[in-house]
Chains A and B, each alone.
Chain A
Amino acid sequence: KAGVTQTPRYLIKTRGQQVTLSCSPISGHRSVSWYQQTPGQGLQFLFEYFSETQRNKGNFPGRFSGRQFSNSRSEMNVSTLELGDSALYLCASSLAGGYLVEQFFGPGTRLTVL
């Protein structure tokens, strides 16, 4: 099976712009989670989607949003970008919702905000 794919892999934006990142989970996986990784804050949970519904959300401002489509592909959007949004954004998929089983991570999207 193909692994989790994320597009684009690298992105450069300027402050105030918005960005959309995409994640395609492993075939058959219905849960997709998003994480932000920065040197200062480490790995932080953004949100989880299962069967097109947001099941869980981390402590991020409303500028961060996401959605999941019927084919389980997910997108996350960040509006009004700030310098502090520069990070590696990782998505992970799993067969079932929740975290009682292993998560399969994609390679990440490196976002740089200038």
Chain B
Amino acid sequence: SQQGEEDPQALSIQEGENATMNCSYKTSINNLQWYRQNSGRGLVHLILIRSNEREKHSGRLRVTLDTSKKSSSLLITASRAADTASYFCATVFLGGNEKLTFGTGTRLTIIP
């Protein structure tokens, strides 16, 4: 399967700490996107990083991409209770059908 895998599956940290989630995939990509989902609701787009980029920032979010290792990480700094959610990476593969393939997700819980 081309589905990405995320690590860890679940993460609990204290409010104010940093949270890091990792995503690995199997084939070459055009871009990789991170999404957040609160409690079985719709997904919210966080960051899109293209295959020729290595790092992107958006507010308290930092995404890195290592195409040689076929992996990406999402760092949330100074976590807040409102960051409690599931986080998914999604990839667009080169040469395949143009569709988003989602990873398995990381469930992040911020403890106040």
Which of A's residues lie within 8 Å of B, judged by CB?
4, 33, 35, 42-45, 48, 55-56, 58, 88, 90, 92, 97-108, 110
List of A residues within 8 angstroms of B31 by Cβ: 99-100
CB within 8 Å for A102 and B98 given contacts A42-B3, A110-B40: no
Interface of chain A: mostly helix, strand, loop or mixed: strand
- Taking a contact as CB atoms under 8 Å apart, the answer to whether A107 and B92 are in contact is no
**B45 interfacial contact with A, CB 8 Å:** yes
| Majority secondary structure of chain B interface residues (helix, strand, loop or mixed) | strand
Interface size class of B (residues with CB under 8 A): 20 to 34
Task: For B98, list chain A residues within 8 Å (CB).
Answer: 48, 55-56, 97-99
Binary CB contact string for chain B from 7 to 41 against chain A (1 if under 8 A, 0 otherwise): 00000000000000000000000110101000011
Residues in A whose Cβ lies below 8 Å from that of B69: none
Contact of B45 among A88, A98, A104 (CB under 8 A): A104
- In the assembled complex, the CB of B1 is this many whole angstroms from the nearest CB of chain A, namely 10
